[in-house]
């Protein structure tokens, strides 16, 4: 890549019709851009929704007018919802945790090994036990307790810590419900890892209920958070086989490995701009 070229990503959704890819390619080509990757999908060729993720490099001197010009021409013509992102601008992640550390520590290790296209800028927990682990990684730690009857105060403190400070919030087994008001105030996407293959066993204690049902597969689900508990759009899922010989503790151990992998994939895909929502579903490019 020439030193004077900027790598950029374009994400688009719009009503499907002929000519969309040609129009985008022509627009970029006229400005000296080189398309290096492109993936697209339509929910229905006849009247469906078109989705596109495109990577390109652009001469630096053309970058200033690109966004405004694209919006006024191609995007307006096709009724697009769109955004252009710069992969060199690393997203800022805030992680919320409780006492369970496996998902949190896995994310911290991946961040330290530069396996996430993001920086973990803050960890907030409603219990203090994980402070030493987090600070060992050199990440700021904040303790915001949630005592009985203190949810409103805790959410106020969370909002003060998170607002304007991060581009993504990750619930690494946080085990607290976030209200719609808090989600609105934070104003950034929130990803949760649920220790169940949703929609099976939502809510608390899924491993106990899974064992009682004699399940043969234990899974985990990463999803975007909405105010409806465990019903946000699903990003990623995976499973591992279980046996009747596995007690609840064994299922928890099996599930922890799956939870780590599923959450890490979901977070990395989000940070790499590979996720586009279509109603209640998430497309992964």
* Catalytically active residues, by annotation: 230
Q: How far is CA 133 from the centre of its chain?
A: 23
The pair of structure tokens assigned to 190 is 């929130």
Pairing of strands 49-59, 34-42: antiparallel
Q: How far is CA 195 from CA 48, 133, 161, 240, in A?
A: 34, 22, 27, 12
Contact in structure between 10 and 78 (CB atoms under 8 Å): no
At 68 the three-state DSSP class reads helix
Contact in structure between 111 and 118 (CB atoms under 8 Å): yes
Which regions of the chain does DSSP assign to beta strands (E)?
5-15, 34-42, 49-59, 81-85, 91-97, 118-125, 141-143, 168-171, 190-194, 217-224, 234-241, 275-278, 281-284
Which candidate, 142, 159, 160, 166, places its Cα nearest to that of 92? 166
**Lookup result for tokens 């019709």:** 17
| Residue 258 zone, left/alpha/beta (φ > 0; ψ -120 to 50; rest) | alpha
- How much is the CA Rg of the chain, to the nearest whole Å? 21
| Helix 102-112 and helix 248-271, axial crossing angle in degrees, nearest 10 | 40
């Amino acid at each position: 890549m020439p030193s004077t070229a900027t790598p950029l990503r374009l994400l688009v959704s719009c009503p499907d019709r002929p000519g969309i890819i040609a129009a985008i390619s022509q627009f970029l080509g006229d400005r000296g851009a080189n398309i290096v990757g492109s993936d697209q999908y339509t929910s229905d060729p006849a009247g469906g929704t078109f989705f596109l993720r495109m990577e390109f490099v652009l001469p630096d001197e053309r970058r200033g007018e690109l966004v405004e010009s694209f919006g006024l021409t191609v995007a307006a013509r096709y009724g697009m919802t769109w955004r252009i992102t710069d992969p060199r601008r690393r997203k800022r992640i805030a992680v919320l945790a409780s006492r369970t550390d496996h998902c949190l520590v896995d994310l911290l290790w991946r961040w330290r090994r530069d396996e996430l296209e993001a920086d973990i800028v803050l960890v907030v927990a409603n219990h203090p036990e994980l402070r030493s682990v987090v600070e060992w990684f050199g990440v700021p730690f904040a303790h915001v307790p949630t005592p009985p009857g203190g949810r409103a105060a805790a959410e106020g403190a969370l909002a003060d810590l998170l607002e304007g400070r991060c581009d993504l919030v990750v619930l690494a087994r946080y085990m607290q419900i976030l209200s719609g008001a808090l989600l609105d105030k934070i104003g950034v996407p929130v990803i949760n890892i649920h220790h169940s293959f949703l929609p099976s066993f939502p809510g608390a204690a899924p491993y106990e209920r899974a064992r009682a049902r004699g399940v043969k597969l234990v899974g985990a689900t990463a999803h975007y958070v909405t105010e409806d508990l465990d019903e946000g759009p699903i990003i990623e899922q995976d499973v591992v086989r279980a046996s009747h010989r596995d007690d609840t503790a064994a299922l928890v151990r099996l599930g922890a490995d799956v939870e780590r992998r599923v959450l890490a994939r979901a977070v990395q895909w989000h940070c790499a701009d590979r996720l586009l929502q279509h109603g209640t579903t998430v497309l992964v490019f």
